[in-house]
Structure 1
Amino acid sequence: MGRGRQKAKQTKVARELKYYTPPTDIRALEQELSRRSATDVVDHRSAAEDDVDPYVDWNDERD
């Protein structure tokens, strides 16, 4: 008999967690993003550099 009440409470808690949006501290976010070091920056290589096969010379030497 108590299962319906228990399930309703679980559903209520799940719904509260699903739609909960904590307050965002914009200043803290700005500070964190402004402190990024050079190592945090993504390496943007050109597509041509990705196409180079490092084993081309090795294959030629075996023949």
Structure 2
Amino acid sequence: MGRGRAKAKQTKVARDLKYRTHETDLSALARELHGEADNREAADDADLDKWADYNPRD
């Protein structure tokens, strides 16, 4: 007992995934699969490097 609501939620999510049209960026997928770096990733890495030596206790 008690599984009805969870099963209904899973069914709703499955139907949503099956029937909703998704706009897939195939070029981004190809870049990711081929291991090419994205410009946004490079910017994120630069932001991380900026905070690499941060210590909140100092």
Q: Same fold (TM over 0.5)?
A: no
TM value normalised by structure 2: 0.36
TM value normalised by structure 1: 0.33
**Which has the higher relative contact order, 1 or 2, with Cα contacts under 8 A spaced 6 or more apart?**
2
Larger Rg: 1
